[in-house]
Amino acid sequence: MTDAKPDRSAWLKGGNSKCQAKPVATGKPWRLVLLGAPGVGKGTQAELLKARLGACHLSTGDIFRAAKQLNQNERTPALTAALEYMRRGELVPDSTVIDIVRERRGCLRCECGFLLDGFPRTVTQAETLETLLKEEGLRLDAVLNYELPIDLIVKRLSGRRTCANCKAVFHVETRPPKKEGVCDHCGGKLYQREDDRPESIRVRMEAYRKSTAPLADFYDRRGLLLTIPADGTPEEIFNRTMEALRARS
């Protein structure tokens, strides 16, 4: 990828939008799936991998966030359906998530490879991805599964504080505000979100474990799963990731 931010319309909007990403030769084009519970630092690793490998970061979370800002006539049918489920506070079903990715299957052909983040989340989605890639004459190189003991995840997430005004995020230990309880950017009051409370985090982690255990088994049986310990600094985790990928190449 170039240093300038590429036009990501093809991934964020789908439909007839065209990809404007400019691949840069960085060696082998890696096609990877990223797995990891909230709090393991998967987003940070995705950014580091994107910079090192030149691969496109294809996050389904980015699609859902962008969809809320699109005019109704800019939304594809699958996006419209997904937003309706979200508006009702319901989980977006496999069929709709699959339709959203299928609309964007051209992004899977990116010459510089891809980092799929947020998809697949179920075995059904993984089977569909496998079929889509096969139809495109492609295959996954590896599935990076970032793991961290639940007590460390609870510590990471429960220390987060969010600004009530600008939504900036701080951490009481790793990124504290200059003045306790006050946002550095806008002076707003910092608070702990309900889903960042320890008891809520443990419930979310158990739900994640139950939903992704079959997915990890699915990829392990295919010889694609690389489990990466997610303790330590982002740089240490990234170095482990690159060592694991080099061992596969």
Q: Which residues are catalytic?
A: 42, 121, 160, 193, 204
Q: Do the Cβ atoms of 248 and 33 come closer than 8 Å?
A: no
Q: Which two tokens stand for residue 40?
A: 């393991």
* Pairwise CA distance, residues 4 & 7, whole Å: 9
Angle made by CA atoms 38, 113, 229, in degrees to the nearest 5: 35
Q: Output the six-digit token pair for 131.
A: 């079929």
Q: Judge whether 114 and 86 are in contact, CB under 8 Å.
A: no
CA–CA distance from 138 to each of 88, 129, 132, 186 (Å)?
37, 10, 8, 47
Amino acid letter for position 181: G
Tokens of 77: 């049918």
Q: From residue 9, how far is each of 24, 64, 175, 215 by CA, in Å?
A: 19, 13, 32, 29
Place of tokens 């505000």: 177
CB 40 within 8 A of CB 145: no
